Amino acid sequence: MTSNKDTKINTFNNRSNQRIIIKRCNSDDLDGVIKVNEEELPEDYPYFFYKSILDNYPESFLIAQDSFGKIIGYIMWRVEKTPSLDSLRYVNKGHLVSIAVSQEYRKRGIAKSLLTNSMQTIKKYKIHEYVLEVRISNYNAIKLYEQYNFQISNTKKNYYRDGENAYYMTLKAKKS
């Protein structure tokens, strides 16, 4: 990504030859992010939840915009300090809170671009592990995470409000 003051921008031509921009979210973008979330995921969050993630971890809260500036995807993470996967030592974990791409823009590499860029920017918190939960039925997302070498560490029973189980997937961060 190239730096433009505090906004990080990455552009690429996807399969339909449209320019997609990946950049940092700002508070004016939150309504667009919430719209994508409500259209694409059953898990909704109140506005203040998005705002607090943005205020605390702005570097890794990224959006994708189409060539008209419409928000068509987002990713947001938080950082938590909990025991490491393989010891009782407390380490910083990057916890993927949510990622979604609008239906009509899927399978064009947008989620990969959001993940790759945000996993870089969140490193400033000295991340030891990346972690996430995903519905056990969410084949597309599981495939996406496996491409990044996330592995299923365990199953969280009844994790979602509708009772579906979640896979807890984890990845050790590479030392840089």
Q: Which residues bind ligand COA (CB under 6 A)?
A: 40-41, 99-101, 106-112, 134, 138, 140-141, 143-144, 147
- Nearest distance from residue 141's CB to ligand COA, in Å? 4
Angle between helices 110-121 and 139-147 (to 10 degrees): 50
Residue 6 or 44 having the CB closest to ligand COA: 44
Residue 113 or 121 having the CB closest to ligand COA: 113
- Nearest distance from residue 38's CB to ligand COA, in Å? 11
- Nearest distance from residue 126's CB to ligand COA, in Å? 24
* Distance separating alpha carbons of residues 110 and 14, to the nearest angstrom: 8
As given in the structure block, the two tokens for residue 160 are: 């979602």
Residue 101 or 119 having the CB closest to ligand COA: 101
Residue 106 or 172 having the CB closest to ligand COA: 106
